[in-house]
Structure 1
């Protein structure tokens, strides 16, 4: 059994997998709140509470703010705000599986951009095939809300920016980067939320509990884990491994919501998982070969 502590790449994959499960398990909770509160209010509260939770856990007051590279933090925070807000707006108009499929175009584009070797294109190609098979064509036969599609594609673009921005040096630790980024993301959404009207019932204890749980499952925990993973994964491997996201979403819908999968979608899950495993093994072998190659320098 491999030692995860001595294999940061494998450790990053495990953390990323936990993060994806956490995000998808929070989807059902978020959708249950859509009938009671405006979508952007839910997204803003999610980021606000997440940033406050992380600020306490990681002692944000100990940060040397003179070392913070605010341009990196700002781009990361804007990406978080767009990714969260636009995705919630999209699933308000589209079925979850379709929205996730459109959104994933973002990280997949990052993976394609960084693909260099033959096997890179093989694994990315398999991920694309899996996404095509995952698309519920029986539902697509009905008219899809074009605004919902635009929201999903916008969320995907922000997801791509999130991957790139998360790898930029911010001058502080990864956990503090997530905390500050979430706070900036909240500042981006909160004015819109206040202008559109924020129900006072949000702060009732019975409702606040749901938002705190949502903040932990959907933001605080997964984004912290992803930040650690981003430091030990290439943009290519991260983008390809994130293809598991719609697969996990499909599994979550099947297990928690009783959504039935087509045989093509089961095949899609197998294809996407093979692509993610293949990408992981290929990159791990490339790193081992590179470290084993003797240096020519004296």
Structure 2
């Protein structure tokens, strides 16, 4: 996990070159988002260690689901809330032993996800491109790296571990920023796209710039389920 965040941070900084000369208000947003990313990842993988993957992910989703429900004004959404609550009850009565600490870790991960949604919205409004995300993931990686080193040590440098971490980092944190068209792509990617855009009669590039909504924590990657499935044996990566 720590290695994946670190590699994602290196790639995002290389693509975006966000710089470090920002005012205090600007720094507070990526630092807050990065802290939520780090705590979310540590909590989620702590949950996966103690309870089945499906149970950990279910508890994680309670946070953003509750946030969405709190902001909803449609009575029909109460039906979905009831169905979700039924699923949690059925999970608790599945007969599979559930570790209380694992469930709490899953809830903490969900709380961090909800917090990231709120902070990420402000971050996207303040820095409407990938620079804010690059800074947030960098800070999250910096917070997570000591844990990764403590848990895995030199195994972080194992070629197999590096290759898996790099693949997940690209697929979960970097590639989603490169695929959508619009103002969130790095400058080099936008220039490359512009060279292949159809020309208007005036000779300019005909492009529509649509800002992306606040990303999931990668950042939240939130390749969480897939990443956990790949990396249960190499958690610190």
Take 1:107 and 1:84, find their aligned partners in 2: how far apart are those partners?
15
Does the aligned pair in 2 maintain the 1:97–1:136 contact within 8 Å? no
**Alignment counterpart, residue 215 of structure 1, candidates 138, 150, 169:** 169
Q: Does 1:45 align with 2:28?
A: no
C-alpha deviation, 1:53, in angstroms:
0.8
Q: Which runs of 5+ in 1 are unaligned?
A: 1-42, 239-244, 257-298
Please give the per-residue CA displacement for 1:203-229, whole angstroms capped at 9, x wherever unaligned. Answer: 133331111012122333458889964
Take 2:179 and 2:118, find their aligned partners in 1: how far apart are those partners?
16
The alignment partner of 1:188 has SS state of: helix
Take 1:125 and 1:64, find their aligned partners in 2: how far apart are those partners?
48
Q: Which residues in structure 2 correspond to 1:30-69 (within 5 Å)? A: 43-61=1-19, 65-66=22-23, 69=26
Does the aligned pair in 2 maintain the 1:90–1:151 contact within 8 Å? yes
Does the aligned pair in 1 maintain the 2:44–2:109 contact within 8 Å? yes
Q: Which runs of 5+ in 2 are unaligned?
A: 185-210, 217-221, 231-237
Does the aligned pair in 2 maintain the 1:111–1:124 contact within 8 Å? no
Q: Which residues in structure 2 correspond to 1:238-277 (within 5 Å)? A: none
Identify the residue that residue 29 of structure 1 maps to in structure 2. Answer: none
Does the aligned pair in 2 maintain the 1:178–1:224 contact within 8 Å? no
User: Normalized against structure 2, the TM-score is what?
Assistant: 0.67
The RMSD of aligned alpha carbons is: 3.6
Q: Does 1:99 align with 2:53?
A: no
The alignment partner of 1:144 has SS state of: coil
C-alpha deviation, 1:161, in angstroms:
0.5
C-alpha deviation, 1:125, in angstroms:
3.4
Q: CA, structure 1 residues 106+69, in 2 after alignment: closer, same or farther (shift >3 Å)?
A: same
**Alignment counterpart, residue 81 of structure 1, candidates 18, 25, 38:** 38
The alignment partner of 2:76 has SS state of: helix
Does the aligned pair in 1 maintain the 2:69–2:77 contact within 8 Å? no
**Alignment counterpart, residue 182 of structure 1, candidates 130, 137, 140:** 137
The alignment partner of 1:60 has SS state of: coil
Take 2:82 and 2:42, find their aligned partners in 1: how far apart are those partners?
25
C-alpha deviation, 1:146, in angstroms:
1.0
Please give the per-residue CA displacement for 1:94-134, whole angstroms capped at 9, x wherever unaligned. Answer: 1111111111111012112222x2x2x42353155146337
Does the aligned pair in 2 maintain the 1:98–1:136 contact within 8 Å? no
The alignment partner of 1:69 has SS state of: helix
Identify the residue that residue 147 of structure 1 maps to in structure 2. Answer: 101
Q: CA, structure 1 residues 55+83, in 2 after alignment: closer, same or farther (shift >3 Å)?
A: same
Take 1:202 and 1:176, find their aligned partners in 2: how far apart are those partners?
27
C-alpha deviation, 1:163, in angstroms:
0.3
Aligned length: 193
Identify the residue that residue 230 of structure 1 maps to in structure 2. Answer: 213
Q: CA, structure 1 residues 175+67, in 2 after alignment: closer, same or farther (shift >3 Å)?
A: farther
